[in-house]
Structure 1
Amino acid sequence: MNTALYNVGQRRRKRHQDNPALKLWWDIYYQNMLLQSRKGPLIKNYLEKLLFVMNQSRQDCNRLFAIRIDLHYPGGIHAGLIAPQNSTISAFLQYLHQELDAAGIKYPGGCRL
Structure 2
Amino acid sequence: MAAAGLLTWALFFLCQSRAAEPIIPLRLFRSRIFTITTLVGLLVIGIGMFAFAGYPPTHLRMVYGVSATESGLLLVPMVVGLMATAFPSGQLMSRTGRYKAYPILGAAFVGLRRC
From the two aligned structures, give the one with the greater helix fraction.
2
Alignment TM-score, normalising by the size of structure 2: 0.28
Alignment TM-score, normalising by the size of structure 1: 0.28
Higher relative contact order (CA 8 A, sep 6+): 1
From the two aligned structures, give the one with the greater strand fraction.
1
